[in-house]
């Protein structure tokens, strides 16, 4: 899947770092695939587009050395750029001008993660195409189920069943293939040889079983249950501390 292409243009490295951290947090929170490119000057960004570069969303600092962010956006618009623009600045002096350029947001430094989310809310349409999904064929139909909708995956005879809150899909794709695809997705945990569980869907852990939000009860393998219980407890502990949001 091609990720959403985001460009940051700011002449201060600490501001680019802050914004990258926020974007990576959003990527993790919403199960997105985001590509980030950064520049320290408007001239560099314009050259990037002249050489065939592209973006879905631009974060532009207004007060930069050389060409400022507003003039950079105007130049890119003349070149055919039609994606979203969010301006980042220390002043509201250019707010009216930025909205004349149909900017989708305006961030006043220093800004919080919540400010960042508010500013990109009008850009959310772009993020839908970059949501991570589980891809498979069931009854000759191609499916792409967003990861947050998956409750659990289980081996069922020669097939594998993918369970969501309101539907079960059967596929001949192997559970090992799903396991490989989900590597790096912290919310998914392999339970024995037969199950992969979305830990966000766990509502109860007992000595021998897990209970999911749809009422399903899954057994914990005897030899692995202590390790799995610890992994699940660690997951929820980290989540309550804000380290896991996906």
Q: What is the pLDDT along the chain (246 residues), one digit of tens a residue?
A: 356 889 999 999 999 999 999 999 988 887 788 899 999 999 999 999 999 888 889 999 998 989 999 899 989 988 888 788 999 988 666 555 555 566 777 888 889 999 998 888 777 766 665 567 899 999 999 998 888 889 999 999 899 999 998 899 999 999 999 999 898 788 899 999 999 999 988 988 888 899 998 889 999 998 888 899 899 988 888 766 655 555
pLDDT of residue 93: 63
Q: Tell me how far apart the alpha carbons of residues 157 and 192 are, in angstroms, rounded to a whole number.
A: 15
Crossing angle for the helix pair 69-78 and 42-50, to the nearest 10 degrees? 10
- Reported CATH class of domain 134-240: mainly beta
Q: Tell me how far apart the alpha carbons of residues 188 and 199 are, in angstroms, rounded to a whole number.
A: 6
Quote the pTM value. Answer: 0.56
Helix (H) or strand (E) holding 18: helix 13-29
Phi (first) and psi of residue 223, to 5 degrees: -70, -20
Crossing angle for the helix pair 113-120 and 13-29, to the nearest 10 degrees? 70
| Parallel, antiparallel or unpaired: strands 159-164 and 150-156 | antiparallel
Copy the structure tokens of residue 82: 């039609």
- Reported CATH class of domain 4-129: alpha beta
Q: How far apart, in Å, are the Cα atoms of 62 and each of 16, 54, 168?
A: 13, 20, 50
The full set of domain ranges for the chain reads 4-129, 134-240
Residues 6+ apart with CB under 8 A from 139: 170
Q: Tell me how far apart the alpha carbons of residues 211 and 48 are, in angstroms, rounded to a whole number.
A: 51
């Amino acid at each position: 899947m091609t990720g959403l292409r985001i460009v940051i243009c700011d002449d201060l490295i600490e501001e680019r770092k802050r914004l990258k951290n926020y974007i990576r947090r959003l990527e993790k929170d919403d199960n997105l695939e985001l590509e980030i490119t950064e520049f320290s000057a408007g001239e560099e960004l314009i050259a990037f587009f002249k050489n065939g570069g592209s973006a879905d969303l631009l974060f532009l600092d207004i007060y930069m050395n050389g060409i400022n962010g507003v003039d950079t956006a105007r130049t890119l618009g003349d070149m055919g750029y039609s994606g979203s623009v969010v301006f980042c600045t220390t002043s509201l002096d250019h707010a009216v001008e930025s909205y004349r350029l149909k900017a989708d947001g305006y961030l006043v430094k220093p800004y919080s993660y919540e400010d960042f989310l508010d500013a990109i809310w009008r850009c959310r349409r772009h993020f839908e195409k970059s949501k991570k999904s589980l891809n498979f064929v069931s009854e000759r139909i191609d499916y792409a189920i967003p990861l947050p909708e998956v409750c659990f995956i289980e081996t069922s005879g020669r097939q594998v069943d993918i369970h969501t809150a309101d539907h079960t899909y059967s596929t001949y794709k192997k559970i090992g293939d799903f396991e490989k695809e989900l590597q790096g997705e912290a919310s998914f945990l392999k339970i024995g040889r037969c199950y992969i569980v979305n830990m966000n869907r766990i509502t109860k852990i007992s000595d021998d079983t897990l209970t999911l939000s749809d009422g399903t009860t899954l057994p914990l393998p005897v030899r692995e249950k202590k390790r799995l219980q610890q992994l699940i407890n660690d997951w929820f502990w980290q989540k309550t501390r804000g380290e896991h949001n996906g």
